[in-house]
Amino acid sequence: MSAVDIPGLGDQIANLTLKQAKELSDYIKEKYGIEPAAGGAVMMAPAAAGPAAVVEQTEFDVVMTSFGEKKLDVVKVAKNLTGLSLMDAKKLVEAVPAKIKEKVSKEDAAKVKAELEAVGATVELK
């Protein structure tokens, strides 16, 4: 393989007309599977057109978005779930949206959500 004159090649590419640039782009895409990405960067085409791998979420955050009408009951449940003092649990509940638990399993997150919803809170799993 012979040495490539990179500055010369760059100058040639920079001096192409729009029509020539389009022809070059089409040729490189067809011949090598490479196409320009947004912003002009070159991007390789995917090797195989198989389905994308779906990664199942294994850790969840339990986020309370509303404490509902029974704030005291929600504070008590939050206290028991988090191990916080009554005062800290009250502050947590009043700071909605608030993370009650972080990075817990799907089963644990569902249990925490059910306990909070049983006393009137609105909860999301993220």
* Tens digits of residue pLDDT in 109-120: 999 999 999 999
Task: Report DSSP state, residue 69.
Answer: T
- What class, spelled out in words, does domain 60-125 have in CATH? alpha beta
Question: Cβ contacts of residue 117 below 8 Å, gap of 6+?
Answer: 123
What is the C-alpha to C-alpha distance for residues 116 and 112, in angstroms, rounded to an integer?
Answer: 6
* Tens digits of residue pLDDT in 16-71: 888 888 888 888 888 888 876 654 555 555 555 455 556 778 889 999 999 889 99
Task: Report DSSP state, residue 40.
Answer: G
Identify which of 112, 101, 18, 116 has the alpha carbon closest to the alpha carbon of residue 66. 116
- The full set of domain ranges for the chain reads 6-44, 60-125
* Tens digits of residue pLDDT in 59-104: 899 999 998 899 999 999 999 998 999 999 999 999 989 999 999 8
Do 126 and 59 touch, CB atoms closer than 8 A? no
